Amino acid sequence: MKEAATLVNPGPIPATGDRIRRAASRKPAVRIDIERLSLSFGATQVLKGIDLTVEAGEFFAFLGPSGSGKSTLLRAIAGFGPAPEGRILVGGEDIGACPPWQRDVGMVFQSYALWPHLSVARNVAYGLEERHAPREEIRRRVAESLELVGMAQFAARYPAQLSGGQQQRVALARTIAAEPRVLLLDEPLSNLDAGLRVQMREELLALQRALGITTIFVTHDQEEANSICDRIAVMAGGVIQQVGRPVEIYDHPGNEFVARFLGAANLIAGRAERDGSRGVRFRSAEGGFELSLTSDAALGGGHLMIRPQGFDLVEADGPAAAGAGVQIVRAVVRSSEFLGGVLRYSVTAERGVALIVDVRHDRGRPALQAGQSIGLSLRPEQALFIAS
Amino acid sequence: MQRRRSLRPYAVYGVIALFLAIFLVVPVAEVILVAFQDAHTGAVTVVNFQDFFANGLFRESFFNSLYVACVSVVIASAFALPLAYFTSRFNFSGSVLIQTLSFIPLLMPPFIGAIAMQLLLGANGSVNLLLRQHFGFTIPFMEGLNGVILVDSIHYFPFILINLAASLANIDRSMEEAAQSLGSSGLRLFRRIVFPLSMPGFVAGASLVFVKVFDDLGTPLLLNVTKLLPVQAYLRVTSIGITDPMGYVISCILVAFSVFAMWVAFLGMRGKDYATVQRGGGGLAKRNLGPMESAACYAVVLLILVIVLAPHAWLLLLSFATVWSFSVLPSAYTFAHYHSAFTTAIGFILNTVLYAGLAALIDVLIGTAIAYLGQRTEIRFRKWLDHVASAALAIPGVVIGIGYLRAFNSVEMPFSDQSMATWWGVLVVALSVRRLPYALRSCVAGLQQIPVSLEEASQNLGATSFRTILRIVAPLMSGALAAAFVTSFATAAVELSATLMLVSRDADAPISYGIYLFMQTVSGRGSGAALGIIAVLIVGIATFVSHRLLAGARSRVA
């Protein structure tokens, strides 16, 4: 995981020397344990028995659709919202009984929540003032934090005079100036436009690596989570659906929801059953579409998942491609969608099964026409059976 | 894992609940109770209401009050509708003039203008003198109920104008354009789209005017019109005494009609807050006027403005007039009335500043606390404080006065032989309870403008909830709080109905009482007018300051 940091271009964040000195002077990173956490808004249960460990120094994401409880869980860690049942331990210490101001977990709000009546410098100094730090230290750490996010020259401005991206940086500086044990980020990039979002997420990662602070990042954008987080907890309906590294979850979704939520997927309901000695065979619930699976596949009822890029395009009437267990599915193109790097075809395969198939777009090559017959070759490891 | 809860919010809740109970709920409840009680046996009965309606004088007063309130709404609408329509519909250079000048009547409570209107439109007023000289006839503008209707509708029409103009300004232009693209235009478009969309504002304004006129005590008293319900209640209580059940029955009827009118306004507004449905707003498309149309608009606007501003002009003349009777304009001018206002009547002015200032302070403190408890805590029944405090809007000043007399008359103040009901401090409380709804709305709106995340960010960085209120909430609310203070101050400074009931001696009286006192004699009218002008200035300056503060607060938070 640590190697990943070196791959990221620290880019616009200046003062590398400062950052390292600062990183060295920080408190050691702590881990967060959440045990059987449940929470209700009135009669509605929003979190249902969450168990989770975030390792020290990890960049962790809560990923889920709106209403999944991810923000509620983050706010519960910070001490906001109704009191939950269960335990929250930060660095082994139960903080459940502490009011928000005694928890020492820094939070960056989705709306940034900069105070409009205080200048940038006063905003950043706030946490240190509340901790009764000496004036000289406040001055120094405010300057350092603003330097760290590249906002030093804006110290005298007021929040209303800053752009969205600048406000975002000030909000970050304000939180890290107080040197919290944990950094909580509540959809911090959702109010930025697309280009800035990509830049800011790289800066965020560089900053987190430099500080080495345990960080939880809430987002509904799987690309955001995949690109910068060490591990992800996918949430839905107040329950953690799956925890793991981004690639792990993408390739081995634990259930139908996770498969659908992380990227496009073909999901076909049906059963997987042992097929003599040769292996496992999948048969769809409707239409009797069949495919062979790898012999270690799960058995029983569930869904077959194939990512759109899992197919390779072959001639419709061409010979079966070489390779162990490669199967050919015959299909007819219905429509196509140009996504830039790839063309996404909606096709009707044998037995009326609807599939989406991604084909790399080569410059100048025309798209296949609707009604055209094609063959799709599928290597067995590209098909995953998810038992329910 | 129960987080430790602070007890402080509960303590604040308790103190405010107690205050509202003692100074609003109990007095009003007692008034209603007494109305339904047999005066001798104390048994529950409706016999008092039967007595009320059996009495010809009361019956007449009842229908007079209804008539006056309804006709005033109609006349006020006649003033307000063209002004609202012109400003929202046309590119009309007079719009700023309308918006500014039409607020001026609100600066002056109607009773102050009543005498000025007598001089202008009364039987021997300037207009009728001219009519008699040149045409040989007169118009009974101010005869009997006409006078009350005229004075009240001139003073209260801005309520309809403000609400209606706000409704019109909030209509999204695309609503009108959508109707046009579907084939609707002209009068049909107005009837089917513009009029229904502006209804909530009109209903809100109209019901406010109805309540204000129905409950007005000062104007009829000064115009010597006694056959109206508030006057009858006042006269019964001051002449026969606080044991007479008729004052309470009338109070009950006043409250019932106020509540009814508020309910109508609520129904009109409920689920029809069209403004928030659509983002943008921006009002209707404005079109340019041709020169003739423009001239016609100006003529209408100027006519209305002349009518509504005439009381102020005549009050000003009166305050400078030496002798003024049976002449179109005063025969000679003097500063003597201002001199006497600042010498003999300085006590009234100082009392006003003290009472209104204290009442406004109480309102801001309680208003802020209620707003905070309602929006930022989880206390059960937290919205009830807001509901109860706002209910004061439906309680006429006469009823507050009678209720206080009833509830506190037997309570002796320490260190004096005075009754609590006539102690000046109770007048301050009465003023603060009556103006609390206005201050409260300002405080609630001020707090609503502050996103909760600003407070959470503060707590997240280590500030306790109390420190957060001090460092984040209070500074961000300061504009709204100042506006609430000034609004309360300005309206409390010219309150008359509860004041008339509760002031026991001249030394304790505020300026509104002083004006009332002076205006009753011909020789005192000049000084009364001078005091009236001073009151208008106090309220005017306060209102101007409040607008500036609110604008400042909005620009900073937004």
Question: How far apart, in whole angstroms, are the C-alpha atoms of residue B442 and residue B367?
Answer: 8
Provide the pLDDT for residue A126: 93
What distance in Å separates the CA atoms of residue B131 and residue B139, rounded to the nearest whole number?
8
**In the A/B pair of chains, how many CB contacts fall below 8 A?**
89
Distance from CA of B453 to the nearest CA of A (A): 6
Query: Are A67 and A46 in contact, with CB atoms under 8 Å apart?
Result: no
A104 touches chain B (CB under 8 A): yes
d(CA A67, CA A237) in angstroms, rounded, equals 7
Residue A97 forms contact with B (CB below 8 Å): yes
The DSSP string of A10-35 is: -TT---HHHHHHHHHHSPPP--EEEE
Please give the helix or strand (H or E) that residue B46 lies within, else none.
none
User: Can you give the pLDDT at residue B181?
Assistant: 78
- Quote the pLDDT of residue B432: 94
- pLDDT of B422 above 90: no
CB contact under 8 Å between A96 and B3, yes or no, is yes
Q: Do A113 and B467 touch (CB under 8 A)?
A: no
Residue of B nearest to A127 (CA): B461
Cβ–Cβ contacts within 10 Å for residue A190, how many? 14
Identity of the residue numbered B95: S
Could you tell me the pLDDT band of residue B278, with boundaries at 50, 70 and 90? very low
- CA A86 to CA A83: how far, in whole Å? 10
| Residue B273, pLDDT score | 52
Q: How confident is the model at residue B457 (pLDDT cuts 50, 70, 90)?
A: very high
Q: What is the pLDDT of residues B243-271, one digit of tens each?
A: 788 888 889 999 998 888 888 888 777 65
Place of tokens 């002083």: B514
The Cα–Cα gap between A237 and A217 comes to 18
Mean pLDDT lowest among A16-25, A56-65, A335-344: A16-25
Q: pLDDT tens across B432-455, in order?
A: 999 899 889 888 888 888 888 999
3 state DSSP class of B554: helix
For residue B465, list chain A residues with Cβ-Cβ distance below 8 A. Answer: 99, 101
pLDDT at A355 exceeding the cut of 80:
yes
Please answer yes or no on whether B456 and A101 come within 8 Å at the CB atom.
no
State the DSSP H helix or E strand holding residue A272, giving kind and residue range, or none if neither: strand A266-275
Percent share of chain B, pLDDT over 90: 14
Of A159, A165, A178, which Cα lies nearest the Cα of A204?
A165
**pLDDT 10s digits, A125-176:** 999 998 889 999 999 999 999 998 889 999 999 998 898 889 989 999 999 9
CB atoms B1 and A85 under 8 Å: yes
Angstroms from A87 CA to nearest CA on chain B? 7
pLDDT reported for residue A165: 87
Residue B498 CB-density burial (10 A; 0-12 exposed, 13-18 middle, 19+ buried): buried
**For chain A, the helix, strand and coil percentages under 3-state DSSP, each to the nearest 5:** 30, 35, 35
Question: Buried b vs exposed e over A196-208: b needs ≥16 C-beta within 10 Å?
Answer: ebeebbbbbbbbb
3-state secondary structure B399-429: HHHHHHHHHHCCCECCCCCCEHHHCHHHHHH
Q: In chain B, what are the domain boundaries?
A: 46-324, 341-558
Q: How far apart are the first and last CA of chain A?
A: 31
Alpha-helical (H) ranges within B449-524 are: 452-460, 465-468, 474-493, 497-502, 511-519
Cα(B125)–Cα(B326) distance, rounded to whole angstroms?
7
pLDDT in tens, B346-381: 888 888 889 999 999 999 999 999 999 988 888 888
Interface of B with A (CB under 8 A): 1-4, 378, 451, 453-454, 456-465, 467, 471-472, 475-476, 556-557
Q: How confident is the model at residue A6 (pLDDT cuts 50, 70, 90)?
A: very low
Q: Is residue B289 within 8 Å of B92, Cβ to Cβ?
A: yes
Rounded to whole angstroms, the Cα distance separating B255 from B237 reads 17
pLDDT of residue A48: 92
Instruction: Write down the pLDDT at residue B553.
Output: 60
On the question of pLDDT at B420 being above 80, the answer is: no
CB-CB contact of B427 with B508 (8 Å):
yes
Helix (H) or strand (E) holding A190: none
Q: How far apart are CA B410 and CA A341, in angstroms?
A: 89
Residue-level pLDDT at B542: 80
A184 with A54: CB under 8 angstroms?
A: no
- Other C-beta atoms closer than 10 Å to the C-beta of A110 total 16
Report whether pLDDT(A349) > 80: yes
Residue B484 is predicted with a pLDDT of 83
Distance in angstroms (rounded) separating the CA atoms of residues B312 and B364: 31
Q: What is the mean pLDDT of chain A?
A: 85
Residue B556 has pLDDT above 60, yes or no: no
What is the Cα–Cα distance from A349 to A365, expressed in whole angstroms? 23
Q: Which homologous superfamily does the CATH classification assign to the domain defined by B46-324?
A: MetI-like (1.10.3720.10)
Closest partner residue to A130 among B1, B461, B556, by Cβ? B461
CB contact under 8 A, B557 and A116: yes
Contact A101 B472 (CB under 8 A): no
B468 burial type by CB count under 10 A (0-12 exposed, 13-18 middle, 19+ buried): buried
- Amino acid B299: pLDDT: 86
The alpha carbon of residue B361 and the mean position of all alpha carbons in its chain are separated, in whole angstroms, by: 18
Q: Which of A80, A130, A175, A191 to mutate to test the interface with B (most CBs of B within 10 A)?
A: A130
Is A110 within 8 Å of chain B by CB?
yes
Instruction: Kindly state the tokens that stand for A292.
Output: 């062979």
Residue matched to tokens 């423009």: B294
Rounded distance, CA A258 to CA A249, Å? 8
**Could you tell me whether strands A59-63 and A231-236 are parallel, antiparallel, or unpaired per DSSP bridges?**
parallel
CB–CB of A174 and B461 under 8 A? yes
From the CB of residue B191, how many other CB atoms can be counted at a distance below 10 Å? 11
Show which of residues 310-329 on chain A sit within 8 Å of chain B, judged by CB atoms: none
**B433 versus B190: which is more confidently predicted?**
B433
DSSP B421-468: GGSHHHHHHHHHHHHHHHHHHHHHHHHHTS-HHHHHHHHHTT--HHHH
Joined together, the tokens standing for residue B558 give 């937004």
b/e B429-456 (16+ beta carbons within 10 angstroms → b):
bbbbbbbbbbbbbbbbbbbebbeebbbb
Q: Let me know: does B259 contact B252? Beta carbons within 8 Å.
A: no
Q: Do domains B46-324 and B341-558 have the same CATH topology?
A: yes
| In contact, A124 and A162? CB cutoff 8 Å | no
Q: What are the pLDDT digits (tens) for A70-127?
A: 999 999 999 888 889 999 999 989 998 888 888 899 999 988 899 988 899 999 999 9
Q: Quick check: B275 and B58 in contact, CB under 8 A?
A: no
CA distance A346 to A327: 19
Q: What average pLDDT score do residues A3-17 get?
A: 42
Mutate to test the interface with A, among B377, B460, B464 (most CBs of A within 10 A): B460
Question: A313: exposed, middle or buried (C-beta count within 10 Å: 0-12, 13-18, 19+)?
Answer: middle
- The DSSP call for residue B37 is B
Whole-angstrom Cα distance, residue B547 to residue A91? 52
Q: Is there a contact between A26 and A182 (Cβ–Cβ < 8 Å)?
A: no
How far is Cα B356 from Cα B365, in angstroms, rounded to an integer? 14
| Tens-digit pLDDT profile for residues B199-222 | 888 888 898 899 889 988 888 988
Report residue A17's pLDDT band, with 50, 70 and 90 as the boundaries.
very low
Has residue B179 got a pLDDT over 80?
no
All residues of chain A having their beta carbon less than 8 Å from the beta carbon of residue B460 are 78, 100-101, 103, 105-107, 175
Distance CA A45, CA A40 (A): 4
pLDDT in tens, A317-343: 655 555 667 888 889 999 999 988 899
- For the residues of B194-226, what is the DSSP string, one character each? IHHHHHHHHHHHHHHHHHHHHH--HHHHHTT--
**B499 near B512, Cβ under 8 Å?**
yes
- Both tokens of B386, joined, read 């807001």
At residue B298 the predicted structure's pLDDT band, cuts being 50, 70 and 90, is confident
CB spacing of A104 vs B462 below 8 angstroms: yes
Helix count (H) and strand count (E) of chain B?
Answer: 28, 2
State the DSSP string of B110-159: HHHHHHHHHHHHSTTSHHHHHHHHHHS----TTSTHHHHHHHHHHHHHHH
Q: B-chain residues within 8 Å CB-CB of A99? A: 3-4, 459, 464-465
Output the six-digit token pair for B73: 């709404």
Helix B145-170, helix B195-215: angle, nearest 10: 150
In this prediction, the answer to ipTM > 0.85 reads no
Closest C-alpha to B255, from B391, B69, B67, B395: B395
Rounded-to-integer distance, Cα B148 and Cα A24, Å: 81
Residues B228-241, mean pLDDT to the nearest whole number: 86
CATH number assigned to the domain covering B341-558: 1.10.3720.10
- Chain A positions in Cβ-Cβ contact with residue B378 (cut-off 8 Å): 82
Which region holds residue B203: left if phi is over 0, alpha if psi is between -120 and 50, else beta?
alpha
**Which helix H or strand E contains B90, and what residues bound it?**
strand B90-91
> With contact defined as beta carbons under 8 Å apart, do A343 and A296 qualify?
no
